[in-house]
Amino acid sequence: MTRVVVSGLGVVSPYGVGAKTFWAGLATGECTIRPLTVIDTEGFRSRIAAEVPADVLPGIGVSSRRSRADRIALAAAREALAEADLAPRDRAEMGLFVGAVGGGMLEGEEWYCEEKSGRPSSRIRALRSILPVSHAETLAWRLRLGGPRETVVMACASGAASIALGADVIRSGATPLVLAGGVDAITHICFMGFNALKLLDPEPCRPFDRGRRGMSIGEGAAFLVLEDADHCRARGARVLGELLGAGMTTDAHHVTAPHPDGEGMIRAMVDALAASGRAPADIGYVNAHGTGTPQNDRVEALALVRVFGEGRVLVSSTKSLIGHTMAAAGSMEAAATLLSLQHGLIPPTVSLRDPDPEVPFDCVPGTARSVELGAAVSNSFGFGGQNVSLVFGR
Amino acid sequence: MSARRRVVVTGLGSVSAAGCGGSSAVAAALERSAETIAPLKAFTVPDCASRLAAEVDDEELMTLLNADTVRRLSRICRMAVAACRLAAEDAGLEGGARLGLSVGSEYGDFRSGAEFFNGFLRRGPGGLSPMIFPNTVMNSMAAVVAIATGAKAPSVTINQATVAGDLAVLRGAALIASGRADAVIAGGVDEIFLDVYRGLCALGALSPMAGGAREGCRPYSADHNGLVMGEGATFLVLEELEAARARGATIHAEMLGSAWGSIPVAPHTAPASRRDAHQTVRRALERAGVAADSLGRSYGSGNGDPALDDWELRLLEADGIRNPVSLAPLFGQHGGLGALRAAAGTLAARADGAPALVHGIARGGCRTAMVIGRAA
């Protein structure tokens, strides 16, 4: 079995640009969920989100003619490739798996509003980057990536799925290198949609809290350089961690609600553990999907109990710090999990004050905690009953 | 994986402008001589130079669905559910934890996105429908198909221009080869929607593009002048060979070899180059153990886009492949077209005995190749 390691990591988050900035924010427990500025929130139940700071975008090194999401994606991908220190010939073979949902919709929405107002819009070119595939096209071109390319749209599990599928391609022997991750920028349609579903908390989200009232949306991108371990060793590259296994399942139950027994979530975690060759007792930490919606957190806790046993693993939700970054969430949380393993520190569920008794786990409330970790799980679930679990090791 | 898991095709299902049905209906559609491209019926586009499309007959579609399904689902989801059910019935396949999905789409449910947004433009936050919003995420088709078919293994949605269906079939085969599923319903779906049609027209993508020549879909022709939109859903049932044999399934053909890669060119461009460093077609042929000169038919993704057609011909020529067949004149360009190419390759390999090549290339450089032959 080919072992897949991580040799590069890049993140653009509500903390700013860079994996170090990202980790510093998570470790200190700074919540980035604030009043939303990129769109008008007048009249909505929730008016907050975790945005990539406006002052970092001009210095991100990507043309402002590109969509907000493309800019974020390209900056994160460049950082990952720089850290992996790849030769041009490696890039020519490198696969690209991008988890995406919103694409360049923020700019497309401006075009659409103008069109609907009855005056011909000059923003027609925004249509070229409106679709999720826009990110992969931009990244493949700018970074000269010539291997298998896929844009994976699996709702809020997209980023994690891209990592799982990218690793599969390496294991198939098609290429020894894959750049995998996810990206999403805040859009009107996403903000309005989750508001319409009443899934957003008017206050910063409180995953696993008894009084939780929903999630907070966020934006960002994270990319991992996945590499055949032998290839990585042969070129003397630094290993940041290992993707030990991945599980992917579908509930086939409801378009927006998880299976009430967490059946698909359980299968995803069990499959991931089986693929990793690790027992539940080997896992020290679960970076939970932990959205802060009453239903998700209750069902995820149920699934965690079934897989690990009550209180048998530390659990936290980094969404309490950076919001739910949608298609990017799975890859940003994979990055957080890797960094947790590296630093022996678990980011907190920062807003957790009154733990829900239906969540029988230590969810690391308030502040980060030092723990020696050998292996950890990152969970991502999404609309459509999509479940992805990733197992990482040091 | 200690031994290579072989992937075979055991069922087909399609909803297209050329008709609806399982493998026999797909075979009949591919032989169809009557025109399917005709003036648009669903809406008028007085400000566009384009008028043509290959549209699905909604009355025929409705005969495949019950009233509850029609009421609950958007039009694109109806097409996806109908085609996937047809494919599963064709294969005699039932749902379960080892059945996966792979759905390719170029535009997803754009109609629902527009409908949702229009609610806001008309009435502000109070006009937003929580029922419509979930459809705006591109995996909504996979979500409803998973429920309809009981598919509980991975369900992957892939967004890609021109070769969405090809890529989804390749992804489906890869899910089986990697052991994530024993069977996958894989293909593509898209619908014609006013805003997308007008947008493509404004961007100069649709025939007759900027020129005043005759509108039409003429891939690889000297007078090709843009694509004609189509719509529909086409899916293949892919299965691991031993699992298919164990349940006594009819095996139409085998995915002998495949590859997909990327020619890193600027987005939306199609340069006149013969170079593919990834050697996508050669890799697929090598994996299949098939020489280019022993191929039977070759299907290409040519859709009438002049730059893209010319690029494809140059790339294929460099691989020793000539005279690819395009199915775009029969079905129009849409996310299911790549799956129709794979279905055609399946039926051709079954009929001729010689392996077929199914090739695709999109502007921006996403390239696919699969070699389909008889299962030994």
**What SS3 class is residue A194?**
helix
Residue from B70, B62, B142, B59 nearest B102 by CA: B142
- Of the candidates A109, A141, A385, the beta carbon closest to that of B146 is on A385
- Of the candidates A115, A133, A255, the beta carbon closest to that of B143 is on A255
Backbone angles phi, psi at A273, to 5 degrees: -65, -40
- A349: DSSP letter: B
Please report the pLDDT score of residue B176 as a whole number. 98
**How far away is chain B from the Cα of A154, in angstroms, using its nearest Cα?**
6
- Looking at chain A, which residue has its C-alpha nearest residue B144? A255
Answer yes or no: are the C-beta atoms of A170 and A226 closer than 8 Å.
Answer: yes
pLDDT digits 0-9 by tens, B153-168: 999 999 999 999 999 9
Res. A362 pLDDT band, cuts 50 70 90? very high
Mean pLDDT of chain B: 96
Identify any residues that bridge with B16 across adjacent strands, giving them in sequence order.
B19, B232
Residue A135 pLDDT more than 50? yes
pLDDT digits 0-9 by tens, B19-70: 999 999 999 999 988 889 999 999 999 889 999 999 999 999 999 999 998 9
CA distance A82 to B343: 42
Omega within 30 of 0 (cis) for the link into B130? no
Interval A277-292 mean pLDDT = 98
Comparing A7-16, A381-390, B267-276, the range with the smallest average pLDDT is B267-276
Among A residues 142-181, those touching chain B with beta carbons less than 8 Å apart: 143-155, 161, 165, 168-169, 171-172, 174
Say what percent of chain A tops pLDDT 90: 93
- Where does residue A348 rank: exposed (0-12), middle (13-18), buried (19+ CB within 10 A)? buried
Please report the pLDDT score of residue A128 as a whole number. 86
**Cβ–Cβ of B178/A171 closer than 8 Å?**
yes
Please report the pLDDT score of residue A20 as a whole number. 98
Catalytic annotation on A156? yes
CA distance B297 to B354: 8
Interval A20-24 mean pLDDT = 98
Please report the pLDDT score of residue A1 as a whole number. 86
pLDDT digits 0-9 by tens, B194-226: 999 999 999 999 999 977 789 999 999 999 999
Q: Please work out, in degrees rounded to the nearest 5, the angle formed at the alpha carbon of residue B231 by the alpha carbons of B229 and B232.
A: 160
**What SS3 class is residue A316?**
strand
Residue from A322, A306, A368, A99 nearest A207 by CA: A322
Mean pLDDT of chain A: 96
Task: Spell out the domains of chain A, with CATH numbers in brackets.
Answer: 4-234 (3.40.47.10), 245-393 (3.40.47.10)
Write down the pTM of the prediction: 0.98
Q: Please work out, in degrees rounded to the nearest 5, the angle formed at the alpha carbon of residue B32 by the alpha carbons of B28 and B36.
A: 120
Of the residues A31, A156, A190, A232, which is catalytic?
A156
CA distance A302 to B218: 57
- B369: DSSP letter: E
Task: Spell out the domains of chain B, with CATH numbers in brackets.
Answer: 7-253 (3.40.47.10), 254-373 (3.40.47.10)
Res. B6 pLDDT band, cuts 50 70 90? very high
- Looking at chain B, which residue has its C-alpha nearest residue A388? B154
Residue A257 pLDDT more than 70? yes
Residue B1 pLDDT more than 70? no
Please report the pLDDT score of residue B272 as a whole number. 83
- Of the candidates A100, A127, A141, the beta carbon closest to that of B264 is on A141
Interval A152-157 mean pLDDT = 98
**How far away is chain A from the Cα of B117, in angstroms, using its nearest Cα?**
7
Q: Name the amino acid, one letter, at B94.
A: E
Please report the pLDDT score of residue B100 as a whole number. 98
